[in-house]
Amino acid sequence: MSSRSRKRAWRLAAAALLAAAAPVGATDIELRVCAEPDNLPYSRRDESGFENRIAQLVAGDMGATLRYFWQEQRLGFVRKTMGAGLCDVFIGVPAGFERVLRTRPYYRSTYVAVRRAADPPFAGFDTAQVRQRRLGVQLIGNDLAASPPGHALVLAGAVDNVTGFLVYGDGPAGQRMVEAVATGAIDVALVWGPQAGYFARRGKVPLTVQPIEPPAGLPDPFTYAIAMGVPRHAVALRDRLDEILQRRKPDIDAILAEYDVPRAAPSPDEAAP
């Protein structure tokens, strides 16, 4: 055997020995998740959000290494993250979000009213209370558009007694709104459920989280289904995630419950995208 052949044989033997010594189940698969760096209760760099927890569960089920690309979800966030090839999965997107390929919805939530436990319930948008109580709503996006409850308040004639909270500011908007209720700066916060439930349980005073219904004639729904999103061409990844979401639903539901995410019943016409 020539010197070159002996060296080649040695390299092959060494490679086989290293492969045999590798841990069972070792893999080079990565689950690259697009996430915001400071947006509790969804995600944070220390991986303390419920979307972080769900990402860990899914990556573990796939036998994949979990990697994050951190980017605030502002204007152009899909283009800057998934569109640039920097990540492959959004853990939570509206089920109708057309910029990505979606899984089946894995939970559905609703807007809620957060108030101090000692105060009267929020009685809906067709009563005089909406023009008398101090109310808070979320302002969404760069154009400061109101959330669906904000539109309902405008239709009810509530303007001067309403405070808007920017989605982007000093900490999550839901946290600032709940704190404003706890301190008495406002009477009722109309907040997206996952944010409300998480921060209300951690309030400085006892708070009540109450699901609310839109007034008749309002075109904007108050409940939305949430799915995972992948690149439009990634059908195989979408299907794999769908299978895991269905099979691990009890575990995912337990995570959502731990974070006090209010959940609404699935819509009868809710179907796979």
* Domain of residue 158, CATH code: 3.40.190.10
pTM of the predicted structure, to 2 decimals? 0.85
Q: Is residue 162 part of a domain?
A: yes
164-212 tens-digit pLDDT: 998 877 778 899 999 999 999 999 999 999 999 999 999 889 999 999 9
Q: Is residue 82 part of a domain?
A: yes
**Does 42 share its domain with 129?**
no
CA distance 75 to 153: 26
Q: Is residue 17 part of a domain?
A: no
Q: Is residue 11 part of a domain?
A: no
User: How many residues appear in the chain?
Assistant: 273
**Does 114 share its domain with 192?**
yes
Q: Is residue 272 part of a domain?
A: no
Q: Is residue 273 part of a domain?
A: no
Residue 252: C-alpha distances to residues 42, 50, 84, 107, 256 (Å): 13, 9, 29, 9, 6
Residue 136 domain boundaries: 110-211
**Does 194 share its domain with 64?**
no
125-155 tens-digit pLDDT: 988 888 889 999 998 765 446 789 999 998 8
Bridge pairing between strands 107-116 and 188-192: antiparallel
* In contact, 192 and 173? CB cutoff 8 Å: no
